[in-house]
Structure 1
Amino acid sequence: MIKNWLRSALWAATALCAGMAQADTGKLTVQLNKFEPTEGGGCRAFFLFQNQTDNSFEGFEMSLAILDGNGVIDRLLSIDAAPLPVSRTVLKLFEIPKISCDNISEILLHDLPVCKPQNAEPIDCFPILALDSKTSATLAQ
């Protein structure tokens, strides 16, 4: 009976520690903050990256699908947002050529080909991502 109690207590403590470690990791927030038309008829997208994790990222690349006003994929766009330092908000601008800002209904994050913390092996960043948009287009995964 004592062995079962100890086993249960040890399991509960392990689960609690794992939950605390995960909570300490924090989120990496990617916000589509603003659109601005460009002279050539394209759109400039302003992204804010807020790194609330315990890791600086020396590599962070996103593969995005740009959907037009009808919800049809217009193009794929790869962007490199690195470096992303710890406890910092970083602004990155990306050009989306030959589509007006008004004609972008959604930006879909369909892959993260590179997510590499500084001085560490690459990781799967999808679980730590939080996506947001302040534009008329949604940012989704």
Structure 2
Amino acid sequence: MTLALALPAAAAPERLTVELNKLEQIDGGGCRAFFLFRNETGKSFEGFEMSLAILDGKGVIDRLLSIDAAPLPVARTTLKLFEIPDIACSDISEMLLHEVTACRPQNEDEMDCFEILDLTSKTPTALVK
């Protein structure tokens, strides 16, 4: 006689993935950054802002860029575009997550989202914590 035990399925980790998907040169100077936000947290976010340090081709911080990506609906991938003025896309070597300045799930208190973030890039420019 074989006894089969049902084991509970492991819960999928709640993650918010931020992907730098594409950089596009803007006429007249500047760079447009295309970000995909994949919200697999089980929560919708009515507030989500982050500060990125933009590093030039020599690895020197050129500026800080504030990104307001809210709202981020639950179980959705959201596209957001941001313009970075006065720098060529080819001159951006890295984007460093400096700070998550707001992370507020809908109908909940502000939370620390740093630990649930996964950062990726499909461009030659790295997106890192």
TM over 0.5: yes
The Cα of 1:25 is off from its aligned counterpart by 4.8
1:106 aligns with 2:94: yes
Partner of 1:128: 116
Task: Give unpaired runs (5+ residues) of structure 1.
Answer: 1-16
Name the counterpart of 2:21.
33
Matches within 5 A, 1:62-77: 62-77=50-65
Between structure 1 and structure 2, the one with the greater Rg is 1
Q: Give the structure with the larger helix fraction.
A: 1
**2:110 maps to 1:88:** no
Q: Distance in 2 between matches of 1:40 and 1:138?
A: 24
Q: How many Å apart are 1:40 and its aligned residue?
A: 2.1
Q: Which amino acid aligns with 2:50?
A: M
In 2: Cα distance, 1:24 partner to 1:91 partner = 23
- Work out which of the residue numbers 19, 24, 37 in structure 2 matches 1:49: 37
1:140 aligns with 2:103: no
Identity %: 67
Runs of 5+ in structure 2 lacking a partner? Answer: 1-7
Large movers: runs of 4+ above 4 Å: none
Q: Aligned residues, how many?
A: 121
Output the TM-score relative to the length of structure 2.
0.90
- Cα deviation code 1:22-74 (max 9, x no counterpart): x4452100000000000121000000000001110000001010000000000
> Considering only aligned residues, what root-mean-square deviation do their CA atoms show, in Å?
1.3
Match of 1:61 among 46, 49, 53: 49
1:77 CA drift (Å): 0.7
Give 1 or 2: higher strand fraction. Answer: 2
Amino acid at match of 1:126: F
